[in-house]
Structure 1
Amino acid sequence: MESKLTEVSPCLGLTNLSAEKLQPLEVALTSILAMPIARDTYAQMIDGTSVRDHPSPSNEAIQQYEEIRKGFAVRALKIDTKLIQDYLNAPLDSQVHLFRLLEITAASVHALAGMTYASFHPDTDIKPQEPRGGHLAAFYGTDQFYVDFYHDDYRLLEKYPSGLLNVVGYWAETQLFGGVVLFDRGDSGLEINSAFVHPRDPKRFSRAYQLSSQQMARFSDLSNPHSAAQLPSAESVLPFTQEVDAHTERTWTWTNGRPVRIYKNDYDKPPPACYSDHCVMKVTTK
């Protein structure tokens, strides 16, 4: 059976990556997509059924995912143009290159999730009309949303380029990386000073933990194309887990407060929260 994946945004393809930049990305993604948790994650999106009611995907969906994985070509993915350029510009064997590699790997997992969901559920309205009071208010107090695959803090679909397909992408990141992958963008918003993971935890304020140098080193080993026989299994690296002494940062800010530094893209930064009891925007969505 031939699987066809739908492109969901007018981003640049990875065909322009040089061999020395493409190879570590291919090695990392090949290892990640072979993980059992990746198989189950994408197969659940193929099924499109509630994870709560059907924690395990169907055999048919698993087979369809395996066909996709075996025919998967990294160059076919469409990724944000600026992200690709930033990855190309990062000097090889530098810390910045490693952060950019993690960034583009997470973006690839995200993009593949959107493409997969769109292909198997083509009738999905990826940008449904916003109800009075907003999308989140319509589902407040429930564990439901337009799709069954979401991270509670990444449901502002009206801000996302691909709407619900991005919502699904954030969920896929959470399953495979342990949370949505974020970065310290510095004061300029253009930097990439350190990497963070934002787990899904609706019971607490939104906080992300910083990946340690050891965790980043293990991810680097996972993408090493020169020692494939000695590479660690992806399951020994991912999903990331928070270390006991990990530094944490909140992923939101107060109105008129210090700008958020820890985020993925400008469009998925949460709006500022305000002190007033009359403010309708909550810090958390539950």
Structure 2
Amino acid sequence: MSMISHDLLELDHDHVNALDRAIRNILSTKIAQVVYAQTFDGLPTEQSLLESFDHVKGHPVHGMGYKDIHPGSFDKVRTSMDRFNIFDLDFNRKAIECFQKESVGSDAFSLRLIELVVVACHEAGARAYAIDGGTYKHKTYHEWRKRVLVEKGHDIESRRSHAPPLAAFSHPEYQYPEQYPRGIADVAGYWAESKIFGGVVLFDRGETEDKCKSMWIHGDLIKGPKTLYPPTQKQFDALVKFLTMPMESHTECPLPILGTPSNLPRRDPYDAFAYQHIFRDRFERKLDTLPQRQQDEHSDYMSRGDPKGQEQSHGYVSLL
């Protein structure tokens, strides 16, 4: 049984209702249901896997020809939604306090609201993974992974870019279960939020590293940006409108937010985490000894004609 989140009791009526509505609006979308149904099933579909990873011979997804989600997994998603209670979720006390301080309707409020919604979506993915009650058990993937490590030599484990992901549901850059509160279930949580929002959602924390000044997205698509990018003003406004609309409304879901030439400026993932205070939680990643720069102008639309990558304003929301 879930523990009741007493931190939420610190929110006033308007704030807790806004958060509850926003989470329900996201969880009711088709994209969220497809993501969580895969997690309940036990493996990502072949299409989902190939969006983020190259084809690997022998991978259980390919070996089983897993293309369609089992209907029973959608039933599990609907059952979970029917039982949803915001007070069952586990939020960081500091994040709740910061949310409560912001005036409803302000940009600062919207950013803090998005932060908590992303955390909720992440947790939902982690919980679904931890159940391990789907058609495909986690054991299937982990046994295959062990065989690959033996065949290629165990030292490959230390070279993450060459080893199979730690879990069947993985964002390539967020695989540090030894640092995560829920262990490997959080690896799946990052995957879930990435599929829903277009990437793992991060924030500019500022010099004090406790702010929420702007929203950034760290995608995982093979054909997408490798750098971090912000939503445009239009995308941000559409997301906020969707989160805050009444449940009975029929506003089109603006997710996922995928990187395009309009999503500027860009940030190198290493520099963003190491020097620019852009992250959600400090435990989410580790820094490589030698940073791997992500500045391919064709895939990432870095500031062309500006070799120093100077700041440009393209309408993204930033609280200075």
How far apart, CA to CA, are the structure 2 residues paired with 1:111 and 1:147? 16
Whether the aligned pair in 1 keeps the contact of 2:156 and 2:162 (CA below 8 Å) is no
Residue type of the alignment partner of 2:18: P
Change (3 A) 1:72 1:94: same
Does residue 167 in structure 1 map to residue 184 in structure 2?
no
1:128 maps to none
Deviations 1:35-58 (A, max 9, x none): 222112111111112433223321
**Superposed, which structure 2 residues align to 1:41-120 within 5 Å?**
41-52=35-46, 53=61, 54-120=66-132
- Please name the residue that 1:213 is paired with: 233
Runs of 4+ residues over 6 Å off in structure 1: 122-125
Query: Taking structure 1 as reference, are residues 107 and 66 closer, same or farther at Cα in structure 2, changes over 3 Å only?
Result: same
Counterpart-to-counterpart distance in 1, 2:94 and 2:157: 29
In 2, Cα distance between equivalents of 1:69 and 1:61: 13
* Letter in structure 1 aligned against 2:214: S
Conserved 8 A contact 2:5-2:88: no
Unaligned 5+ segments in structure 2 are 47-60, 140-148, 295-320
For residue 85 of structure 1, give the secondary structure of its aligned residue in structure 2: helix
Structure 1 residues 114 and 258: alpha-carbon distance in aligned structure 2, compared to 1, 3 A threshold: closer
SS in 1 for 2:117: helix
Instruction: Find the partner of 2:216 among 196, 202, 218.
Output: 196
- Please say if 1:263 is aligned against 2:283: no
Match for residue 174 of structure 2?
154
Question: Of 18, 25, 28, which aligns to 1:24?
Answer: 18
- TM-superposed CA distance for 1:159, in Å, is 1.7
Q: Distance in 2 between matches of 1:201 and 1:46?
A: 22
Counterpart Cα distance in 2 of 1:33 and 1:147 = 23
TM-score (norm 1): 0.79
C-alpha distance in 2 between matches for 1:38 and 1:163: 22
Relative to its length, the structure with more strand (as a share) is 1
Contact 1:14 1:76 in 2 (8 A): no
Larger radius of gyration between Structure 1 and Structure 2: 2
What secondary structure, in the 3-state scheme, does the structure 1 residue paired with 2:81 have? helix
Aligned length: 260
Taking the aligned partners of 1:183 and 1:164, their CA distance within structure 2 comes to 23
Contact 1:183–1:194 (8 Å) recurs in 2: yes
Which piece of structure 1 moves more, 201-210 or 87-96? 201-210
Larger helix proportion of the pair: 2
C-alpha distance 283-151 of structure 1, shift in aligned 2 (>3 A): farther
The percentage of aligned residue pairs carrying the same residue is 21
Unaligned runs of 5+ residues in structure 1 are 126-130, 276-281
Query: How much has 1:33 moved relative to structure 2?
Result: 1.2
Show the counterpart of 1:249. 267
C-alpha separation in 2, matches of 1:154 and 1:166: 9
Q: Distance in 2 between matches of 1:283 and 1:149?
A: 25
SS at match of 1:197: strand
Q: CA RMSD in A?
A: 3.1
